[in-house]
């Protein structure tokens, strides 16, 4: 078996605001396996400043992985414990290599095109007018669940914006989720959560920065608004530590990004622990190209979760890989009449 990798820089159609700054581009790498006349493809994507494997030696580790592909998936996953995005890329590539169609990793009614996955519409941070415009666009496009990133502009403006949306659309019309990306301080978080709870929101992701377990546990206990852990899961590889985090904090939800938490295997460990502790979950992509998004979506469908998932990021880029993934009326569909257009040889 031969393994190579190719880098691809994804370009945002419009600079996208997060609590960590404005994103204009995103780097990703594809691992390509070749064995006899078959090819397997997987995506390794990191988010700068967020991924635990955002380190200077990242490409060196990719090279090492390709040079040692003979070790096999099980051994490589153990060796790459500190590189969750490479673990995830390898899982995809090996599944792809064994598949009848290299992009059909988990055959199901989803890949047959007969079932779809409900997803949330994502509203990026920005000026009030821009955020309001995005919200109305998502509603017009048929989304019944909207996720809004908060924490970039002042809290009063964000609250006013959410309040105006809630006045127009009731809880039964639109489910509203917010993501603070750790923007609140432990001192003021509870007051803000109480104010936000007046708007009948579904939940808030990561109200305070990760690693503050006692403070987060207190918030989960006292908050009238459900809390979902996101960044809290990143960089935690030991099963015992995962259990301790869930049992200590006791959140209402956890959010799984396979590129950030160790692929399917790492995500399934979190899901098992969450279920044992009566914690629910949903899955979110981490701004992968359509190659990684496709893998996450197919796997997510097999989980049989009824909640809207965070998988609507395929249309963000000007130079994404053409794929059968389509968003229609707030759902992600797999149109198997559409061909993939994956040509790694054109990239450096």
DSSP state string for 291-335: HHHHHHHHHHHHHT--SPBB---TTSBSSPPB-SEEEETTEEEE-
Among candidate residues 61, 149, 192, 242, the one labeled active-site is 149
Sequence-distant (≥ 6) Cβ neighbours of residue 179 within 8 angstroms? 147, 148, 149, 150, 204, 205, 206, 230
The rounded radius of gyration (Å) of the Cα atoms in the chain is 20
Residue 237, judged by CB atoms within 10 A of its CB (0-12, 13-18, 19+), counts as: middle
Contact predicate 309/116, CB 8 Å: no
Which of 301, 282, 292, 278 has its CA nearest to residue 321? 292
CA distances from 187 to 73, 183, 205 (A): 45, 12, 17
Contact predicate 109/115, CB 8 Å: yes
3-class SS of residue 119 = strand
Q: Please say if 241 is a catalytic residue.
A: no
pLDDT tens sequence across 229-245: 999 999 999 999 999 99
pLDDT tens sequence across 28-37: 999 999 999 9
- Alpha carbons 91 and 154: distance in angstroms, whole number: 41
Paired tokens of 164: 């105006």
Which residue segments constitute the domains of the chain, with CATH numbers given?
Answer: 2-102 (3.30.390.10), 109-343 (3.20.20.120)
Q: What is the mean pLDDT of each run of 10 residues along the chain (348 residues)?
A: 95 75 88 94 93 96 98 98 98 96 95 97 81 87 91 85 88 92 94 96 96 97 97 96 98 98 98 98 96 98 96 90 94 93 62
Provide the 8-state DSSP code for 25.
E
pLDDT score for 325: 96
pLDDT score for 347: 53
**What does the angle CA 224 – CA 205 – CA 200 come to, to the nearest 5 degrees?**
40
Sequence-distant (≥ 6) Cβ neighbours of residue 137 within 8 angstroms? none
Residue 243: count of CB within 10 angstroms of its CB: 15
Q: Please say if 257 is a catalytic residue.
A: yes
Among candidate residues 26, 102, 242, 257, the one labeled active-site is 257
pLDDT score for 98: 95
3-class SS of residue 246 = helix
């Amino acid at each position: 078996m031969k393994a190579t990798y190719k880098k691809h820089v994804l370009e945002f159609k419009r600079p996208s605001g997060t609590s960590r700054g404005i994103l204009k581009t995103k780097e990703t790498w594809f691992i390509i396996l070749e064995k006899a006349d078959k090819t397997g493809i997987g995506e390794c994507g990191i988010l700068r400043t967020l991924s635990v494997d955002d380190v200077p030696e990242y490409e060196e580790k990719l090279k090492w992985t390709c040079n040692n592909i003979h070790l096999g998936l099980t051994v490589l996953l153990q060796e790459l414990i500190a590189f969750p995005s490479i673990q995830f890329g390898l899982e995809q590539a090996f599944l792809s290599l064994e598949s009848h169609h290299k992009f059909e990793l988990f055959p199901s009614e989803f890949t047959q095109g007969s079932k779809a996955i409900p997803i949330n519409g994502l509203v990026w941070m920005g000026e009030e007018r821009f955020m309001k415009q995005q919200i109305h666009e998502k509603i017009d496009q048929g989304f019944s669940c909207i996720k809004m990133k908060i924490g970039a502009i002042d809290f009063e403006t964000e609250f006013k914006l959410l309040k105006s949306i809630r006045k127009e659309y009731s809880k039964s019309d639109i489910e509203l989720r917010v993501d603070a990306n750790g923007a609140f301080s432990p001192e003021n978080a509870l007051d803000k959560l109480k104010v936000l709870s007046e708007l009948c929101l579904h939940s808030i992701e990561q109200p305070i920065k990760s690693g503050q377990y006692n403070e987060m546990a207190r918030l989960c206990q006292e908050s009238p608004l459900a809390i979902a852990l996101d960044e809290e899961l990143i960089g935690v590889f030991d099963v015992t530590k995962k259990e301790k985090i869930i049992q200590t904090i006791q959140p209402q939800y956890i959010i799984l990004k396979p590129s950030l938490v160790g692929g399917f295997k790492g995500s399934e460990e979190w899901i098992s622990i969450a279920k044992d502790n009566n914690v629910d979950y949903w899955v979110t992509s981490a701004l992968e190209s359509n190659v990684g998004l496709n893998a996450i979506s197919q796997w997510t469908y097999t989980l049989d979760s009824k909640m809207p998932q965070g998988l609507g990021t395929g249309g963000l880029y000007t130079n994404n890989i053409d794929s059968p993934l389509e968003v229609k009326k707030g759902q992600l569909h797999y149109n198997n009449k559409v061909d993939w257009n994956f040509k790694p040889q054109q990239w450096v």
